[in-house]
Structure 1
Amino acid sequence: MSSQPSPADAAPDATAPVTPGAPSTSDANFSLRKIAVAAFGPSLLFGFGEGAILPIVPLMARDLGASVSMAAFVVTLIGLGSLLNNIPASIITMRWGERWAIVAAGIWSALGMALSVLSHGLVPFAAGCFMVGMSQAVYNLARQSYLTEAVPVAFRARALSTLGGVMRIGMFIGPFFSAAAVHAFGLPAAFAVGIVGVLAAAAIGARLPDLVHPPHPAGHAAPAPVSFKTILADHRRVFLTLGLGVVLVSAVRASRQAVIPLWSDQLMLAPALASLIYGISGGIEMLFFYPAGRVMDVKGRRWVAVPSMLIIGIAMLAMPFTVGFVTLLLAATAVGVGNGIGSGLIMTLGADHAPRHGRAYFLGVWRFLSDVGGSCGPALLSVLIAGASLSGGIAATGVMALAAAAMLGRWIPPKVQAHKT
Structure 2
Amino acid sequence: MTPPDSPPPFSLRSIAVPAFGPALLFNIGEGAILPVVALSARELGASVAVAALIVTLIGLGSWFFNLPASLITLKFGERWSIVGAAAAGALALLAAGLSLMIPDGLWLLAVAMGVVGMSASVFSLARQKYLTEAVPVEFRARALSTLGGVNRIGIFIGPFVGAAVMHFAGISGAYWVGVAGMAAAAALAVTIPDLVVAPSSSSAGPEPTLRGVAVSHAGVFLTAGAGILLLSALRASRQVVIPLWADHVGLDATQASLLYGLSGAIDMLVFYPAGKVMDRRGRLWVAIPSTLIMGTALMLIPLTAGFTGLLLVALLIGFGNGISSGLVMTLGADFSPDRGRGQFLGLWRFIADAGSTGGPVLLSAVTAVSSLAAGVTATGVLGFAAAGVFAVVLPKLRHRRNY
TM-score (norm 2): 0.94
For 2:151, the aligned partner's letter is M
Contact 2:134–2:196 (CA under 8 A) maintained in structure 1: no
| CA distance, structure 1, for counterparts of residue 200 and residue 151 of structure 2 | 36
Cα distance, 1:294 vs structure 2 = 0.3
1:73 aligns with 2:53: yes
1:398 aligned residue: 380
Tell me how many residue pairs correspond in the alignment.
394
- In the superposition, relative to structure 1, how do residues 144 and 91 fare at CA in structure 2: closer, same or farther (>3 Å)? same
1:140 equivalent in structure 2: 124
Residues 133 and 55 of structure 1: is their aligned pair in 2 closer, same or farther, counting only changes over 3 Å? same
Q: How does 1:9-408 map to 2 (within 5 A)?
A: 29-119=9-99, 120=102, 121-210=105-194, 214=198, 222-223=204-205, 225-408=207-390
Equivalent position SS for 1:269: coil
| CA distance in structure 2 between the partners assigned to 1:149 and 1:381 by the alignment | 37
Deviation of the 1:225 alpha carbon? 3.6
Q: CA deviation at 1:272?
A: 1.2
Name the SS for the 2:395 alignment partner: coil
* Gap change, CA 1:210 and 1:418, over 3 Å in 2: farther
Greater percentage in helix: 2
Q: Which residue of 2 aligns with 1:22?
A: none
- Give the Å deviation of 1:210: 3.2
> Could you list the runs of 5+ residues in structure 1 that have no partner in the other structure?
1-25
Report SS of the residue matched to 1:77.
helix
Q: For each residue in 1:306-353, what CA deviation from the matched residue of structure 2 results, as whole angstroms up to 9, or x when unmatched?
A: 000000011111110012111111111110000000000000000000
Q: Letter of the 1:40 partner, please give it.
A: F
- Aligned-residue RMSD, C-alpha: 1.8
In structure 2, runs of 5+ residues without a counterpart are 1-5
**Deviation of 1:224 (Å):** 5.4
Query: Which amino acid is 1:391 matched to?
Result: A
Residue 118 of structure 1 and its aligned partner are, at CA, apart by 1.2
Q: What is the rounded CA distance, in whole Å, between the counterparts of 1:189 and 1:214 in structure 2?
A: 44
Equivalent pairs: percent with the same residue? 55
Q: Deviations over 1:347-382 (max 9, x none)?
A: 000000001111000000000000000011101110
1:320/1:394 contact within 8 Å kept: yes
Q: Which amino acid aligns with 1:250?
A: S
The equivalent of 2:3 in structure 1 is none
**Distance in 1, Cα, partners of 2:243 & 2:110:** 26
Q: Which amino acid aligns with 1:403?
A: A
> Does the Cα contact within 8 Å between 1:78 and 1:129 map onto a contact in 2?
yes
* Contact 2:28 2:181 survives alignment (8 Å): yes
